Chain A
Amino acid sequence: MDEGLKSELQKQGIFTTTLEDLYNWGRKNSVWPLSFGLACCAIEMISASMARYDLARFGAEVFRPSPRQADLMIVAGTVTKKMAPQVVRLYNQMPEPKYVIAMGACAISGGPFKQGYNVLKGIDRYIPVDVHIPGCPPRPEALLHAFMTLQKMIDKQKLTGKDRARHFDPEAPSEFPVPKFGAHDLEPTNNPGVWQPPVLARGV
């Protein structure tokens, strides 16, 4: 709709909107995160929801212990190879539309424990991550910023058309294969539909 006409109508007390805007506005302001802490970052996640930082301002204070009731998974902490199958399974149990924030250095890349034999080098190898937050641990403000970034993303999602949101696309996968323990490592070591190893460009 034409912006000029919209503001002209607003002066007359008529508010217009589109279904898409209304839908996204409602969704982005009541994201329910999964209360899911893995390690150190979980404490900062809890402090973000406490009095000083007050995640409730963004409509996200309802931490749900059950994945069936949650929209957002904040992967807060080190994902070990023993825990990775459970993380993927929890993600699979969440209903669409669902989002993932990878919080902290460990969740995005393995962080300081990357050299460890038991640490997964980033949860984005198995599930699609919408927002990455660096830091060890990130401050609660960083989580708030990630949250606002996610809200902007939700606001831009389309209901129809070719680039519509994933949960409107019957072709798009909403569940991802759960890795299993192999002889040496998790199998598969990554989900190629979600993540591919970076290509090194040499001599450029």
Chain B
Amino acid sequence: MPPKNFELLPKAGAEGDFLEVAMGPQHPSTHGVFRMDVVLDGERVVKLKPVFGYLHRNHEKIAENTTYLGSMPYTDRLDYFCSMTNNWAYALSIEKLAGLAVPERAEYIRVITGELTRLLNHSCLIGFLLQDMGALGTPVMYAFREREKILDLFESLSGSRMMCNYMRFGGCRCDLPAGWIEEAKQVADNFPRFLDEFEKLLCENEILMARTQGVGVLPKELAINAGVTGPMLRASGVNYDIRKVDKYGIYDRFQFRVPLGDHGDTYDRFMIRVLEMHESAKILQQALKDIPSGPIIDPKAKLRGFRPKAGEAYGRIEAPKGELGFYVISDGSPNPYRYRVRPPSLINLTILEDMCLGNMVADVVVILGSVDIVLGEVDR
């Protein structure tokens, strides 16, 4: 493996053994407009420079010029797979800022939609990861079949498939429609069956194991030092799940385990997601069983003319990709003075070069896939 901080780049005209390749922004993998400038020695990566900003949509600046509630639909478009968890993280930080309480039924609805989001994110991610490895079609097709079932639930709940815009400060926008819980129960009960099928198809697949085991190893210390969170951190063997650490919402009421990886390689990152889906399905079954009736929004919460007191708050949740946090400073006006997103994908991406160095160029796309990035969130 070449030394780190490898600065020796081939100069023009030199008899270089190195080849510089720009991968992206348009490339066959399914991770959006992201460019990697890779320096290759033969087929080994000796240097990798991620270039992003191709989807910079001024999310934070727009949020500072609009009302608190007006930013809610924009949070949907941060990580466009997981609009529900984005809404939740934003609502949580504003609730901290304004000191709003959330009724019990709304908390349950949040847990249910959040875990459904985790299911759809992880299953789609695995599909895309396999697609990057050359399994064109089938795994993505299976994943999207399940995704459509979950999106049907979201659509009947919020009116939109992807961009739900469902959470509000102090609760949720509207109550569950009639029969929704039964449908959600059906999805949650059938999901483990899909997972078993998926696992039988993939987990012991020889090609998948050859392509992923020992590839893109992320050591524990580096993961902690780089601030990596979510499934990537747990794949490196660090027991850190904000659902357990913060116990935000009502997560202390549910029985679930936090799967941990051993080697921190791409295969572990893949398996962590599979195991997390099992746990999410368990949480869903418990939440759908115990959901109480009652109001869904704090009656004190004001939607129009919402002006929280001056102050600052940071709310964070365990989004499917890692710690998603919103830091908001209020100066008492209807707009936030400063609005900052802590995007898990961007921070998990910072160690991409460390994971790729010394690997084959063909593995770079696989490693990138296992990081689970969404460019809407990376660039914002």
Contacts and interface: CB of A to CB of B under 8 A. Distances in A.
Interface of A: 35-40, 42-44, 46-47, 50-52, 65, 67, 77-78, 80, 82-83, 86, 90, 112-113, 115-119, 136-137, 139
Contacts of A83: 25, 33, 54-55
A19 B161 CA distance: 43
Contacts of A46: 30, 140, 144
30 contacts: A36-B26, A37-B30, A37-B32, A37-B33, A38-B33, A38-B55, A39-B77, A39-B80, A39-B375, A40-B77, A40-B80, A44-B162, A46-B30, A46-B140, A46-B144, A50-B140, A50-B141, A78-B55, A80-B56, A83-B25, A83-B33, A83-B55, A112-B73, A112-B77, A115-B58, A116-B62, A117-B58, A117-B61, A119-B57, A137-B80
Interface of B: 25-28, 30, 32-33, 53-58, 61-62, 65, 73-74, 77, 80-81, 140-141, 144-145, 147-148, 161-163, 375-376
A36 B56 CA distance: 17
A133 to B, nearest CB: 15
B53 A82 contact: yes
Contacts of A139: 161
A65 B53 CA distance: 21
Nearest to A44: B162
Sort A-B residue pairs by CB-CB distance and give the 4 closest, nearest first.
A116-B58, A65-B28, A40-B80, A50-B144
Given A37-B30, A40-B376, A43-B162, A80 B54 contact: yes
A39 B30 CA distance: 11
Given A39-B32, A39-B375, A47-B148, A82 B56 contact: yes
B151 to A, nearest CB: 8
A12 to B, nearest CB: 44
Contacts of B27: 65
B148 to A, nearest CB: 5
